Amino acid sequence: MADIKKSRRNFVKEDLANIVERLNLYLKGKGLAKIKPILKRIGRNHELPHWFNQLEKKGTLPNLDGKTVGSVVEMLFVADVEAEVLIGRFKTELRINPASGVDVPDLDLGIKSPSENWCTSEPFSNAYERLLGSEYDVVALITNYQSVKKKPPLKLQLIYHNYFKGYQIADKGLCKRAVKVRTAIESIGETPAKKIIRFLAYANQADWLCKRILDLIENLNDEQSLNALIEKSRVDFNKRQKVTKREMPLEYLEKIESLRKEVPVARALVSLADDWIVENWRDSAQYPNADQWSRLQTAPLDGQLGVSFALQWRYNFGVYFKNLDE
């Protein structure tokens, strides 16, 4: 079954540009007849969704909230894949998320459809997903919802799209640093490496001290660059205070500048990162277990998004599509 799902996903990946082109036609009210029976089957109580009649007759959607817009895109996507992509290849009736944890269980595929604010939220099970990524591949379909919602009726269109492998649904910047840590295991030792990996998994990039430690970790194998960054910390500290117009604890700067006295700097950096974890997470930040540690040593570590803590994971697709700061 896993191989069949993989084959189905490959067809979706290869045909994604055409799928998006057809979805944009559906969103203008064109070509809906072919997918109408499928929309009825997958609709609540096997009825056509409440927005369908207006879409079919007028080529627009009623005023909808962002969550409902996501449902519209998801239903149209699933209906199109069944009717246009898998037809003649796999005889299957696709379902949408029957409490299985993935949007399209018959494909093992997630669908994310943020608008120009780029962000979606997703439940998370452990912090190491920030580095290892998702269990499932994801199709990202970016809509123009933010631009058109103020001018009803809603003329929704997809403006960007991409197919992401599961391991790419991870934090771009943190993964780049994790690669540096992985290459330094022999020189710094396995236990210090695990401490830094734990720091990366639980890092809060809005915290100045944490962000500065992250910048230093990016230069873990280059002591000259480490010292240069430490020297620039005071300028960065003062600049951040001016921008935010908030006074930060001077202790943060002192902790970074104290690294100058340590030899080697990398070892002291490990201790500082570990101290930050203890201070901010207490006992709730777990080290990677044996399975996670094994995967971290062989995984691609090729995150393409920004992944930050909120009430859930906050995925920022703008890091990929618009080169936003991760």
Query: Is residue 166 within 8 Å of 135, Cβ to Cβ?
Result: yes
The whole-chain average pLDDT of the chain stands at 93
Nearest residue to 279 (alpha-carbon basis) of 298, 258, 251, 307: 251
For residue 171, list its beta bridge partners.
305
- Cα separation, 186 vs 200, whole angstroms: 19
Query: Is residue 169 within 8 Å of 134, Cβ to Cβ?
Result: yes
Angle among Cα 271, 275, 279 to the nearest 5 degrees reads 175
Confidence at residue 320, expressed as pLDDT on a 0 to 100 scale? 95
Q: Within the chain, which residues score under 50 in pLDDT?
A: none
Alpha helices in the chain (DSSP H): 2-14, 16-26, 36-42, 52-58, 66-80, 129-132, 145-148, 172-183, 185-188, 190-202, 208-217, 223-231, 233-244, 250-257, 265-281, 290-298, 318-321
Q: What is the gyration radius of the CA atoms in the chain, in angstroms?
A: 23
Confidence at residue 307, expressed as pLDDT on a 0 to 100 scale? 94
Confidence at residue 326, expressed as pLDDT on a 0 to 100 scale? 62
Query: Is residue 222 within 8 Å of 236, Cβ to Cβ?
Result: no
- Cα separation, 112 vs 138, whole angstroms: 7
- Cα separation, 323 vs 55, whole angstroms: 34
Residue 295, class by beta-carbon neighbours within 10 Å (0-12 exposed, 13-18 middle, 19+ buried)? middle
Whose structure tokens read 């993935």? Answer: 102
Nearest residue to 145 (alpha-carbon basis) of 208, 215, 63: 63
- Cα separation, 285 vs 33, whole angstroms: 52
Nearest residue to 266 (alpha-carbon basis) of 190, 183, 192: 192
Q: Which two tokens stand for residue 262?
A: 């340590």
* Buried b or exposed e, range 227-256, using 16+ CB within 10 angstroms: eebbeebeebbeeeeeeeeeeeeeebbebb
Confidence at residue 277, expressed as pLDDT on a 0 to 100 scale? 97
| Domain locations in the chain as residue ranges | 2-168, 172-302
